[in-house]
Chains A and B, each alone.
Chain A
Amino acid sequence: MRLTCTVNGTEQLVDDVWEGESLLYVLRERMGLPGSKNACEQGECGSCTVYLDGLPVCACLVAAGQAEGREVGTVEGLAAGGELHPVQQAFLDAGAVQCGFCTPGLLVATDDLVGRALAEGRRPADAEIREALAGNLCRCTGYEKVLDAVRLAADRMAEEAR
C-alpha cells in the first residue's frame, strides 16, 4: 500500500508498504530515518519513541497505515538546523549518553515531558521525571545522568523562555 504522512515537517510518500509493517519499520527502512531505534518491538523499551500527532508513542506499535495523513516527529527533527536542541545538548553535557541506543527515544520523551511542564510554568519534579521516563529502558547509565540531563534541560529551557 501507499503511505503518506508528514515527518519532521516534511511530506513523505512511500509505496509498496506491507500492511503488517510498523511505523518504525517504515521510518527506518523506507524513509531513511533510522534515528528511532528498534530494541524490543513490543512497546517495552521506548527506544522507538516518536511523536504521533504531538503525543509520544512507541513507533513499533503503530501500524504503518495508522500513520496515514498524520504528523510524525522523530529524533532527527529535534534539532533546528545545525544547532542542537537544548535536550540534546543537556544529554551530552550531563554524560547521559553511553551506547546511545536508548537516547533517541529518551530525547523525545524528555522533550515532551519538559515541554509540558514548562507550558504549565514549572519544572518537572524528580518523581514526575521518573514516572514519565519509566517506559524508556537504558542498560548503560543506571539513569542517574539521564535525570541530571532532564533537570539541566529544564533549567536551560526555562531560562531561554524567560
Chain B
Amino acid sequence: MEFLQPTTWEEAVETKAAHPDAVPIAGGTDVMVAVNFGRLRPARLLDLTRVPDLQQWDTEDGVVRLGAGVPYARVIGELGDRLPGLAMAARTIGSPQIRNRGTVGGNLATASPAGDAHPALLAADAEVEVASVRGTRRIPVADFYTGVKRSALADDELVAAVRITPPSGPQQYSKIGTRNAMVIAVAAFGLALHPDRRAVGTGIGSAAPTPRRAPAAEEFLAGELDGLWDSRAELPPATAARFGELVAGAAAPIDDVRGTARYRVHALSVMARRTLTWAWAEYRKGETRCA
C-alpha cells in the first residue's frame, strides 16, 4: 500500500489523475473502518488532510463555499448561523471525536444513503464542486448521488467544496436513531423554507437507494404557502399532515437491521410534519436568518 500526501490542491488533483485507484482519505471515519476490518485494501491511500485549501470556508457572492475538508465540529461552531440546517445535521453525527475529524466532503464522496449531511444539503439546494486536472465542475447535489454509495464523481475527480446559499428562511433537520446519541440514521429529513423565492427544499436520508428530495411535497407546500408567506398566518394542521404524507410518499426504503421500511415511511411523515411546524412557527415570529 502506498500513502500519498499531497500538500497543495494542484498536487492532490494531479495525484488523483495519475492514480485514479487511489482512495482519498480525510477524516478517516469511513475509510479507516473499512481498512481496519480488512474490507478495503487499496493500492494507494490519498491523504487530503495536508491540503490547506480544503480546510477553509469563505463566502463568495453571498454563497458559502465550504472546503471539503472542514470537519463537522467547525461547521457547528463557525457556520451555525449561515448554514443552520447543515449545522443541525452535523450535531447528530457520531461523537465529538468523530465530528472533529469527519467532513462534509467525505460524506459526499462516500455517498451513503445514510450520510447525515445529505438531507440538509438537498434541502438547501447545495452544489458540489468537484475538480480534476480536466477542470472544475459544479454538480447540483440532487444530481450528485447516483446509487447506493455511488456518485457522479469521476475516477480522476476529488470533491473540492460544497457551495450553499445561506437561507432566506428557517431550516430544520431531524433524524431517527434507536439510541439518543451516536447512531446511524434509520431515517432523516431536512427542510428549508426559501421565502425569497417562495420555494421549499426537502431532503430524505436513509429511506431510498440514494439521498433524495421529495419534489411533490415541495411543490404542494410551495403552493399552500403561496398566500401565507406575506401574511405569516398560521399553517393549517392539515397542510402539515399532507406535506408529511407526500414526503413519506417520496421514500423507497428497505427493511434492514436498523429498521423496517414501513417504519421509515411512517417516521418520515412525522418528521416532515413536525419540522414544518417548527420551521413555520419560526418564520411567523420573523426570526428569519438572513445571509
Contacts and interface: CB of A to CB of B under 8 A. Distances in A.
**A and B, direct touch (CB closer than 8 Å):** yes
A23 B28 CA distance: 11
A109 B96 contact: yes
Contacts of B36: 22, 41-42, 60
Interface in B87-134: 94-98, 100-101
Contacts of B100: 55-57
A56 B96 contact: yes
Nearest to A62: B28
A19 B28 CA distance: 13
Interface residues of A, number: 29
B98 A135 contact: yes
A20 B1 contact: yes
Contacts of B47: 63, 65-66
A57 B71 CA distance: 12
B252 to A, nearest CB: 28
Contacts of B98: 43, 58, 61, 135
A65 B45 contact: yes
B7 to A, nearest CB: 11
Contacts of B73: 55
Nearest to A18: B1
Residue from the set A41, A60, A65 with the largest chain B CB neighbour count within 10 Å:
A65
A22 B45 CA distance: 13
B269 interface: no
A66 B48 CA distance: 9
Contacts of B45: 19-20, 63, 65
Contacts of B96: 56, 109, 112, 131-132, 134-135
B205 interface: no
Given A19-B45, A134-B181, A62 B101 contact: yes
Nearest to B26: A66
Contacts of B28: 61-63, 66
Contacts of A61: 27-29, 32-33, 98, 101
Interface in A1-29: 1, 18-20, 22
Residue from the set B31, B32, B73, B98 with the largest chain A CB neighbour count within 10 Å:
B32
Contacts of A132: 96
B275 interface: no
Contacts of A55: 73, 100
A112 B100 CA distance: 12
A135 B97 contact: yes
Interface in A50-73: 55-58, 60-63, 65-66, 68
Interface string B35-73: 111000100010101000000000000000000000001
A46 interface: yes
B15 interface: no
A126 interface: no
Nearest to A134: B181
Contact of B2 (A19, A41, A43): A19
B3 A19 contact: yes
A74 interface: no
A49 interface: yes
Contacts of A109: 96-97
Contact of B3 (A1, A42, A56, A134): A1
Contacts of A103: none
Contact of B97 (A18, A49, A68): A49
A62 B32 CA distance: 7
A18 to B, nearest CB: 7
A44 interface: yes
A49 B98 CA distance: 10
Closest 3 CB pairs of A and B: A135-B95, A134-B181, A19-B1
29 contacts: A20-B1, A20-B41, A41-B33, A41-B37, A42-B33, A43-B29, A43-B32, A43-B97, A55-B73, A55-B100, A56-B97, A57-B97, A57-B101, A58-B101, A60-B36, A61-B27, A61-B28, A62-B101, A63-B3, A63-B31, A65-B45, A66-B49, A131-B96, A134-B182, A135-B94, A135-B95, A135-B96, A135-B97, A136-B95
Interface of A: 1, 18-20, 22, 41-44, 46, 49, 55-58, 60-63, 65-66, 68, 109, 112, 131-132, 134-136
